[in-house]
Amino acid sequence: QKEVEQNSGPLSVPEGAIASLNCTYSDRGSQSFFWYRQYSGKSPELIMSIYSNGDKEDGRFTAQLNKASQYVSLLIRDSQPSDSATYLCAVEGVGGTSYGKLTFGQGTILTVHP
């Protein structure tokens, strides 16, 4: 059973702070990792994809991947109230019947308060 675990929330940060979201996965062979943002009542929206160890930055978002530790994280700098949402970590399957399928974590609810 391939698993994706996210740090339990909800997470509350003040406006302007850094929000840190964490995710671990069980399939050591995984190569593709994604962070999606989901507002209440809406479908997921892709924020970041990461495939190589290290950091990947896009605006206020930085994804970090450590395949040896089977760990992927998302940092949101200068958090804004509009960042308040559920953040979903997703890992793509690599072999057999899992190929191309995303396994999602349970999601972390982030609230950014003014």
Partner 1 sequence: GAVVSQHPSRVICKSGTSVKIECRSLDFQATTMFWYRQFPKKSLMLMATSNEGSKATYEQGVEKDKFLINHASLTLSTLTVTSAHPEDSSFYICSARALAKNIQYFGAGTRLSVL
Q: Rule CB under 8 A: which residues touch partner 1? A: 32, 34, 36, 41-46, 49, 88, 92, 97, 100-102, 104-107
Specify the residue, 77 or 101, whose C-beta has the smaller distance to partner 1.
Answer: 101
According to DSSP, the residues that pair with 5 across neighbouring strands are 24
How near is the Cβ of 16 to partner 1 at its closest, in Å? 28
Instruction: Give the phi and the psi of residue 77 in degrees, each rounded to 5.
Output: -90, 155
Q: Which helix (H) or strand (E) holds 53?
A: none
How near is the Cβ of 109 to partner 1 at its closest, in Å? 9
